[in-house]
């Protein structure tokens, strides 16, 4: 990683970086800085994350030219979504349709009224499964980066070129919990819309996955220089 001076913004050459003493010296400013502090500052949203310390719920497999990262989306919100799934997907439509079956009648208005409840129930069922057995899976094969969010083979999949990723950071996902915005991982892509994912990852898993992607992107950018 390139180390830059926080005062003048110039690059600090490797000869002026002492990892053992945690010192980086800028000859232009004639000033010494904490190397670890500069590295953390450069990491931005992922400061303090050590990619060599893998949190629980994350599996990293490195096969040389191919790297896979799988992070579990399991969290405590599954129970809340389960209540919605039962209430909207089973109980409400069941009462509306069941009353017709019991009475031997068919009311199209009541049947149509049950459809939105069933749709909400289906969404809640998906979210329950996502937060129970779901995962975010990232696969890097040469320059091809694929991000999958879901469970089994059901979910959202997006592929981009690693070389086209310009920045990795945390920003609001558009989802709010307890009236607080929930951040997710954003990747800025050249000539394309940003890729957003990882909203329901636990915070430590989210920051780890983001930090690892940030390192991969910076390593690729430096390799191109």
CATH code at position 204: 2.30.29
Is residue 201 within 8 Å of residue 73, measured between CB atoms? yes
Provide the number of structural domains found in the chain: 3
Same domain, 146 and 212: yes
Same domain, 96 and 161: no
Cα–Cα nearest to 216, from 61, 3, 1, 8: 1
Those residues with Cβ within 8 angstroms of residue 101's Cβ, 6 or more apart along the chain or in another chain: none
Last residue of a domain, one of 100, 116, 131: 131
DSSP code for 14? G
Helix 78-86 and helix 108-133: axis angle, to 10°?
Answer: 160
**Residue 89, pLDDT score:** 83
Same domain, 97 and 195: no
Same domain, 11 and 98: no
Same domain, 110 and 178: no
Same domain, 107 and 141: no
Q: Is 177 exposed, middle or buried (0-12, 13-18, 19+ CB in 10 A)?
A: exposed
Q: Is the pLDDT of residue 42 over 70?
A: no
Cα–Cα nearest to 169, from 156, 181, 159, 183: 183
φ/ψ (deg, to 5) at 70: -125, 120
Same domain, 6 and 44: yes
**Residue 56, pLDDT score:** 95
Q: Is the pLDDT of residue 52 over 60?
A: yes
Q: Is the pLDDT of residue 161 over 70?
A: yes
**Residue 178, pLDDT score:** 82
| Per-residue pLDDT tens digits for 99-149 | 778 878 878 887 888 888 889 889 899 889 998 999 999 999 988 999 999
Same domain, 199 and 157: yes
Q: Is the pLDDT of residue 41 over 80?
A: no
Worst-scoring range by mean pLDDT, 32-46, 104-118, 191-205?
32-46
Same domain, 98 and 194: no
- Torsion sign across C-alpha atoms 142, 144, 147, 148: negative
Same domain, 144 and 211: yes
Same domain, 160 and 201: yes
41 lies in which domain range? 1-48
Q: How far is CA 132 from CA 46, 83, 129, in A?
A: 26, 14, 5
Residue 208 is inside which H or E element, if any? helix 203-224
Same domain, 104 and 23: no
């Amino acid at each position: 990683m390139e180390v830059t001076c926080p005062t003048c913004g110039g690059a600090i050459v490797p000869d002026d970086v002492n990892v053992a003493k945690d010192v980086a010296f800028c000859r232009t400013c004639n000033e010494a800085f904490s190397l670890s502090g500069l590295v953390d500052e450069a990491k931005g949203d992922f400061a303090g994350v050590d990619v060599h310390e893998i949190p629980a719920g994350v599996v990293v497999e490195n096969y040389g030219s191919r790297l896979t990262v799988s992070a579990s989306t399991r969290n405590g919100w599954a129970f809340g979504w389960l209540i919605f799934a039962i209430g909207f997907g089973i109980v409400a439509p069941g009462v509306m349709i069941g009353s017709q079956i019991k009475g031997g009648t068919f009311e199209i208005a009541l049947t149509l009224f049950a459809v939105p409840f069933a749709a909400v129930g289906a969404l809640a069922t998906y979210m329950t499964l996502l937060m129970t057995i779901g995962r975010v899976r990232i696969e890097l094969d040469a320059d091809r980066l694929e991000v999958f969010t879901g469970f089994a083979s059901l979910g959202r999949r997006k592929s981009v070129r690693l070389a086209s990723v310009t920045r990795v950071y945390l920003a609001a996902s558009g989802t709010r919990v307890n009236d607080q915005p929930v951040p997710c991982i954003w990747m800025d892509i050249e000539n394309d819309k940003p890729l957003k994912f990882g909203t329901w990852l636990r915070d430590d898993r989210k920051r780890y996955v983001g930090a690892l992607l940030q390192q991969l992107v910076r390593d690729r950018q430096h390799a191109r220089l």
